[in-house]
Structure 1
Amino acid sequence: MRQVFTLIAMFIAVICWATFSSPQSGGEILKPPGEVVDIGGRLELLVDEFLIDSMKGEVRLKLHRPERKEIVFRTDAPWEGNASAYQSIFQDGDIYRMYYRGMHYRDHPHESGPAAKALPPHAHYLCYAESDDGIHWRRPKLGLYDFNGSKENNIVLHPDTRGNNCSPPQTAVFRDDNPDCPPGERIKIIGQGDLRGNGLYMMKSGDGVRFSPLSPDPIVTKGAFDSQNIAFWDPTLRAYREYHRITLPSGIRGVATATSEDLLRFPSPVPVKILGARPDDDFYTNAVKPYFRAPHTLVGFPARYIEREWAEPLLALPGLEERLARSRSHPRYGTALTEALFMSSRDGVTFKRWREAFIRPGPRTRNNWVYGDHFVFWGIVETRSHLKDAPNELSLYATEGYWEGVSTDIRRYTLRMDGFVSASASAEGGEFVTRPFVFQGGNLTINFESSAAAGIRVELQAADGKPIEGYTLDDCPEIFGDSIRHTVRWKRGGDVRSLKGRPVRLRFALRDADLYAFQFVPFQPDPVRPPRPTTGK
């Protein structure tokens, strides 16, 4: 009997090893609970419960919504139109690059309203714009393709590039950060080969505007590709990842992924597992990418697709005339709504997805609450804050006014650095303790904000949960303020070098405060403070 139990235990151990060290997952990232994690000196976002061992009191993980900013671009050139989607954005040196679809929707014969006076239908193009700050954009005159007898436009892909290359409507553009990537191939396009969906193809460019096929063969052939399908170099995995749309056995839209060290040869894809998703959840896009400040963490902004009924709330939305006109082509064109969600992953296959909307459709205007709105661009960029002396912030971009009028609006949204999710505590307070980990560095920094009357205290513990002398909560003055990189200092100072490489835990006690991220960084001596002022009676 003992031998039977031994064999069963060995079998379970093998299964657990396979689960937590799958090549697709990147190895140590999915270590079982209780096992010591090596976080080195990397920035750790609190976007999931991976590093959290326990919570008590009034503290929880909270999703933060970005702040709605200005319209930064309109696709109102004659070769663009009201159906621009599947945009890509990234910073390349001092230049921000944006790639977007030039397309105008006027598909149904009974169209009425403002769109009836819109641009005539035209072929689909991939267009390019650039910026010095991520806010003010320009269309360079590239002179590559003819439109109505002129090459003074910003078109980088034309319908003539179909076939074994990429079809302009469903594309994604990225900078290949593989250190072995040749300079002449550093900007790449992944896209559908043609509108029949015969696979995903790759194109290359050295300057980001003149593209040619990387290979005549598709890199992926299994899937439904009428979406923004993406690929990128994952510096943590040291391999390429690709994500594309699939149709699940239930008939709803899903996402599949594969990894490969060779960009042109991907194995059979596997469906992405979305924690928290309902069986009937449809996802159009995924917008997955390594977060540039913590590349071991992948973040994504899938578009949630919902079909509503022709009931009073839908009929009360703006733009009813155009909504009814679109529905004559297909009912869902009038009843479908889209909005942006947030999800994250540490292995690229299993994602924690928040059920709450990350970007809601917003105030009811002519340009929102329609199918195709709030598709978040693939890519997050760092931009300057409009507040004097404030730190830089994250900028995200999303569509508005899809299929409405003559153009698509592109709105910018901002978020504090690392500010997707926080451990958030009420005024009553709460605390959480991390799982054991080892680190490299000499100081602990935190990204946090608090009220003036409350704050955060931090304790370092041994792996068994016992407070380490000199680093207890009582040794830590309450930290208040708002900083994306505040050094934690106890009464003895901020030097934690003596604990480097030793399994430890962190205990955070919060009151009316939010903690977004923490990081162990190279040692810096404590600053010399002026003498504290004395107070008289």
Structure 2
Amino acid sequence: MLVNAYFIKLDSCQLPPRDLAVSVFLNLSKFNMPLTMPHLLELFVDSYFIEKKKRLRQCLQEPLDCGPVFHFSEPWEGLLSGYCTVLEDPLDGYFKLYYRGLSDGNLECSDGEVTCLALSHNGVEWFRPNLGLHKWLNRKSTNIILANNTPDSHNFTPFLDSSPTTLSHQRYKALAGVAPSGLNAYFSADGINWTNPYSKPVLTTGMFDSQNVAFWSSSEQKYVCFMRTWTGEGFSGIRTISRSTSTDFSSWTVPRRMSFGRIPLEHLYTNQTQPYPRAQQIYIGLAARFMPERQVITTEEALELSVDPSYYRDCSDVVLITSRGGNRYHRAVRQAFLKPGIGLENWVSRTNFPALGFIHTKPDEISFYMNKNYAQPNAYLSRFSFPLDRLGYLEASDSYGELITKSIPISSQDDLHLNLSTSAAGSCFVALLDENDATVSQFDMSSCLELIGNELSKPVRWLSSNGVSLRIGDSGLSSVKLHIRLLDARLFAFSLCSTDR
């Protein structure tokens, strides 16, 4: 549902007062419940912590399509609106949607492109604030934050800087631009009023003809940028991804192409690589896989859809890629993460492109967004969701599957939790192994209390010989391996939380 009635003009170009917005939206106080943040959370989206596995299949979670949340219906937006970014600012309490507007009849990378902002308090209902920064023809009430800055509005991509040393007037940062101009850096205190403090681009090696994403990496302690490059000269070869890093957001390393291991190169139009919110050591990329000249719909069908004549001879879907730093992506599952939906409108060029950003829309739910019906008159943004920390999983069928993890550092205060689901007849048991792969006394499978159910954070307990309930921290070791046995069950993640006895 799109709320259009709430347009408030403030001379300072700041956001509307929060108490006014609350009356428009649902009471979302329950969404501000504190989330349990483990000091170690590992998702089974890659094989990083897997030492051995037997009779286990690695799979991807199928997100829930929650439907349209924002239509690109204003005259400065148009059917080619895209390159969306969604983020949450904890200081003002708003979810913010940044996107490119391109009015009908204008070309990409022309003065017809603008950068727009929409707001939400719940990630479901969005509205356009009247910022009064830029007019559109005779319209004074717009949500445009950047205009007349070709080509930077083509792919303006902001993020909230989580670096502990960032300055208050540079809380928001962004990169924007294409070759040959390069990527320009932008700063903002509020995400609305932006400045470009440099006289030249900060990155020039690359074609940049897509969404180029940057963030502060807490695990690497530097800024990281994943950008569009090609395998050939100029715009030739295969669309791929390169990486550059910086300590100050001004001077960047020479970009290096990302590798994908043994997986053949495919056209990846956008990469949308970002730290997972609750496990920032894992970078998750929801990449738009582009299939050039793989035409699904006919010219007659394209006419019925009123799709732009240049945008129906290709198709695309979404693949999930991960990284933990360095110049390699991991793709644990080669199948698509999200396939095009039912209906010919889902099989045109450059639709099904994910937005950048994961946000909490409920305490037990994370959402992301996707451009739908691209190059069609009813272009919109759709929301997708998945249960907390459930992006990928290891699955055992009707025979026992076994997993042994790599060594995990623990302390005496630690409590082990599993994110898992079983059938009514399924089960899960856990044993601890020491550095010699020997089972730790009192922490064997037979002492483990059976885990059954469907829970996002289920504590693991062992029963000692004298009937005392034991946690992983009671093992007396500084590191252990987990030996997990599953039956008709899925294991999504494990976590360690520090708790008092």
TM-score by length of 2: 0.86
Q: Distance in 2 between matches of 1:410 and 1:88?
A: 11
| Equivalent residue in structure 1 for 2:69, among 46, 69, 72 | 72
What does the per-residue CA deviation read over 1:393-451, in whole Å, with 9 as the maximum and x for residues that have no partner? 0101001110111x421110011111111111112221111122322342101111111
Aligned length: 451
User: Which has the higher mean CA deviation after the structures are superposed, 241-250 or 79-88?
Assistant: 241-250
Structure 1 position 196, deviation (Å): 5.0
| Equivalent residue in structure 1 for 2:181, among 191, 198, 213 | 198
* 2:145 aligned residue: 156
Contact 1:443 1:524 in 2 (8 A): no
Contact 2:106 2:112 in 1 (8 A): no
Q: Distance in 1 between matches of 2:229 and 2:190?
A: 32
Q: Distance in 2 between matches of 1:462 and 1:404?
A: 59
What does the per-residue CA deviation read over 1:133-175, in whole Å, with 9 as the maximum and x for residues that have no partner? 000001000000111123210000102x34xxx6101110111
User: Which has the higher mean CA deviation after the structures are superposed, 77-86 or 313-322?
Assistant: 313-322
With over 3 angstroms needed to count, the CA separation of the structure-2 counterparts of 1:296 and 1:427, relative to structure 1, is same
| Equivalent residue in structure 2 for 1:236, among 206, 213, 219 | 219
Q: Distance in 1 between matches of 2:252 and 2:211?
A: 18
Q: Distance in 1 between matches of 2:112 and 2:179?
A: 16
- How much is the aligned-residue C-alpha RMSD, in angstroms? 2.1
* 1:285 aligned residue: 270
With over 3 angstroms needed to count, the CA separation of the structure-2 counterparts of 1:408 and 1:501, relative to structure 1, is farther
In the TM superposition, 1:170-189 aligns within 5 A as 170-189=155-174
Q: Distance in 2 between matches of 1:515 and 1:97?
A: 33
**Secondary structure at 1:368 match in 2:** helix
Contact 2:442 2:462 in 1 (8 A): yes
| Equivalent residue in structure 2 for 1:357, among 324, 330, 336 | 336
Q: Distance in 1 between matches of 2:127 and 2:84?
A: 15
Contact 2:306 2:376 in 1 (8 A): no
Q: Distance in 1 between matches of 2:369 and 2:301?
A: 23
Contact 1:444 1:494 in 2 (8 A): no
* 1:301 aligned residue: 286
* 2:94 aligned residue: 95
**Secondary structure at 1:168 match in 2:** helix
Whether 2:324 is the aligned partner of 1:346: answer yes
* 2:31 aligned residue: none
In the TM superposition, 1:111-190 aligns within 5 A as 123-159=112-148, 161-162=149-150, 167-190=152-175
Q: Distance in 1 between matches of 2:82 and 2:497?
A: 40
* 1:515 aligned residue: 491
**Secondary structure at 2:140 match in 1:** coil
What does the per-residue CA deviation read over 1:118-142, in whole Å, with 9 as the maximum and x for residues that have no partner? xxx9811110001000000010000
Contact 2:216 2:223 in 1 (8 A): yes
User: Which residue identity is paired with 1:260?
Assistant: S
What does the per-residue CA deviation read over 1:51-79, in whole Å, with 9 as the maximum and x for residues that have no partner? 1111113x121111211112100010111
In the TM superposition, 1:76-475 aligns within 5 A as 76-93=73-90, 94-106=93-105, 123-159=112-148, 161-162=149-150, 167-192=152-177, 196-249=179-232, 251-279=237-265, 281-309=266-294, 314-315=297-298, 318-319=301-302, 321=304, 326-327=309-310, 333-353=311-331, 354-365=333-344, 367-384=345-362, 391-405=363-377, 407-440=378-411, 441-475=413-447
What does the per-residue CA deviation read over 1:66-111, in whole Å, with 9 as the maximum and x for residues that have no partner? 1111210001011111111111111111211110111145479xxx
With over 3 angstroms needed to count, the CA separation of the structure-2 counterparts of 1:482 and 1:223, relative to structure 1, is same
Q: Distance in 2 between matches of 1:190 and 1:339?
A: 25
Contact 1:275 1:350 in 2 (8 A): yes
Structure 1 position 214, deviation (Å): 3.0
Q: Distance in 2 between matches of 1:355 and 1:247?
A: 21
Structure 1 position 500, deviation (Å): 5.8
Q: Distance in 1 between matches of 2:487 and 2:138?
A: 65
With over 3 angstroms needed to count, the CA separation of the structure-2 counterparts of 1:309 and 1:393, relative to structure 1, is closer
**Secondary structure at 1:264 match in 2:** coil
Q: Distance in 1 between matches of 2:241 and 2:274?
A: 14
* 2:453 aligned residue: 481
Structure 1 position 318, deviation (Å): 4.9
- Unpaired segments ≥5 residues, structure 1: 1-39, 109-120, 328-332, 385-390, 526-537
Q: Distance in 1 between matches of 2:397 and 2:300?
A: 36
With over 3 angstroms needed to count, the CA separation of the structure-2 counterparts of 1:234 and 1:463, relative to structure 1, is same
Q: Distance in 1 between matches of 2:424 and 2:270?
A: 41
Q: Distance in 2 between matches of 1:291 and 1:517?
A: 13
Contact 1:400 1:411 in 2 (8 A): yes
User: Which residue identity is paired with 1:404?
Assistant: Q
**Secondary structure at 1:43 match in 2:** strand
User: Which residue identity is paired with 1:267?
Assistant: T
**Secondary structure at 2:185 match in 1:** strand
Q: Distance in 1 between matches of 2:343 and 2:158?
A: 32
With over 3 angstroms needed to count, the CA separation of the structure-2 counterparts of 1:322 and 1:136, relative to structure 1, is closer
TM-score by length of 1: 0.80
Identity %: 29
Q: Distance in 2 between matches of 1:317 and 1:368?
A: 16
| Equivalent residue in structure 2 for 1:490, among 448, 462, 470 | 462
With over 3 angstroms needed to count, the CA separation of the structure-2 counterparts of 1:397 and 1:500, relative to structure 1, is farther
Q: Distance in 1 between matches of 2:106 and 2:231?
A: 28
What does the per-residue CA deviation read over 1:504-534, in whole Å, with 9 as the maximum and x for residues that have no partner? 2101100111111111211344xxxxxxxxx
Q: Distance in 2 between matches of 1:324 and 1:149?
A: 28
Q: Which has the larger radius of gyration?
A: 1
Structure 1 position 47, deviation (Å): 1.3
**Secondary structure at 1:302 match in 2:** strand
Q: Distance in 2 between matches of 1:450 and 1:483?
A: 9
User: Which residue identity is paired with 2:360?
Assistant: E
Contact 2:416 2:495 in 1 (8 A): yes
Contact 1:197 1:226 in 2 (8 A): no
Q: Distance in 1 between matches of 2:347 and 2:303?
A: 11
Contact 2:369 2:383 in 1 (8 A): yes
Q: Distance in 1 between matches of 2:476 and 2:447?
A: 19
